[in-house]
């Protein structure tokens, strides 16, 4: 129970990412609670806010939600909080107390600036980049997918990719068959689980990866290769029946020989 509550608190912090929006939400909620004249309308919104907070932090409901969506993405529960409506209603209610239209301009601008500087611009930290493909996936993914599509022996050919690449390949072309998807979901066997675990570690045992991939009858292997170990890893894969057919940025594409 303590672990579940800790995960909820961590997810809360992760979602807000150090911004002051939680304090804006708290301030707007307190204002509506004590000073809003239309208490009935504000009451519905505040009631929903309390219910969603209770669902998120109550250990029983948190455990059920976590079981359904997974602990790693529990921060998505914050999406159901009516943060924007509460803050907006709090600001508009407060500004509505100023009857002089000319005087309203200054606090309106102040509130807008407060909202703007409280968060992080979507254009920062590389959240959005321009790509050259219609599917809007990273260009290196598009290039890897094109190699697979052009070189595969059949549409049933299985591909193994690391967690980053697996998240996008089928977005680019749904005909690409994966041994497993993101976070190892959709594995076809217990061997598939071992394959996922052996590939998605800081320092994979590439011989073991190739061994498990062979058991899964995987035609392609796609993963990042440190440039200083490219020749070494290429030789290891060759010994296990896989030939390097392309290198795109740090990603190497191996295809089963023959």
pTM: 0.61
Q: How far apart are CA 43 and CA 26, in angstroms?
A: 15
Q: How far apart are CA 22 and CA 20, in angstroms?
A: 6
Q: How far apart are CA 250 and CA 227, in angstroms?
A: 7
Provide the mean pLDDT of the chain: 90
pLDDT of residue 98: 86
Q: Could you tell me where the DSSP H helices lie in the chain? A: 2-16, 21-35, 39-57, 59-69, 83-95, 101-118, 139-151, 163-172, 190-199, 206-215, 230-239
Q: Is the pLDDT of residue 187 over 80?
A: no
Virtual torsion, Cα 159, 163, 164, 167, nearest 10 deg: 70
Q: Output the CA–CA distances (angstroms, integers) from residue 9 to 14, 15, 64, 82, in the order listed.
A: 9, 10, 16, 18
pLDDT of residue 125: 62
Q: What is the pLDDT of residues 57-99, one digit of tens each?
A: 999 999 999 989 888 889 899 999 999 999 999 999 988 888 8
What's the chain's Rg over C-alpha atoms? 26
Whether the CB-CB separation of 189 and 216 falls below 8 Å is answered with: yes
**Angle (deg, nearest 10), helices 2-16 and 21-35:** 100
* Band (131; pLDDT cuts 50, 70, 90): confident
Residues 94-105: what's their mean pLDDT?
85
Joined together, the tokens standing for residue 27 give 């301030």
SS3 label, residue 187:
coil
Buried b (16+ CB within 10 A) or exposed e, 142-152: bbbbebbeeeb
SS3 label, residue 226:
coil
Q: How far apart are CA 168 and CA 248, in angstroms?
A: 15
């Amino acid at each position: 129970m303590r672990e579940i509550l800790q995960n909820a608190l961590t997810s809360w912090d992760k979602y807000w990412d150090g911004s002051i929006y939680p304090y804006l939400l708290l301030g707007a909620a307190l204002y509506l609670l004590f000073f809003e004249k239309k208490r009935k309308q504000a009451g519905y919104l505040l009631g929903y806010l309390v219910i969603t907070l209770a669902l998120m932090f109550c250990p029983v409901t948190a455990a059920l939600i976590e079981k359904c969506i997974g602990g790693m993405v529990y921060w998505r529960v914050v999406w159901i909080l009516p943060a924007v409506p509460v803050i907006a209603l709090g600001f508009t209610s407060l500004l509505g107390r100023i009857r002089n239209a000319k005087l309203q301009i200054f606090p309106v601008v102040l509130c807008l600036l407060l909202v703007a500087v409280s968060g992080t611009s979507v254009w920062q930290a590389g959240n959005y980049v321009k790509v050259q493909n219609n599917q809007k996936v990273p260009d290196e993914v598009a290039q890897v997918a094109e190699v697979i599509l052009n070189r595969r022996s059949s549409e049933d050919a299985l591909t193994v990719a690391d967690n980053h690449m697996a998240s996008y390949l089928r977005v680019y072309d749904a005909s690409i068959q994966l041994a497993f998807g993101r976070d190892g979901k959709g594995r076809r066997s217990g061997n598939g689980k071992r394959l996922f675990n052996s590939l998605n570690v800081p320092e994979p045992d590439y011989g073991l990866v190739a061994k498990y991939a062979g058991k899964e009858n995987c035609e392609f292997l796609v993963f990042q290769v440190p440039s200083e170990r490219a020749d070494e890893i290429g030789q290891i894969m060759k010994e296990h029946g896989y030939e390097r057919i392309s290198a795109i940025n740090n990603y190497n594409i191996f295809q089963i020989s023959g």
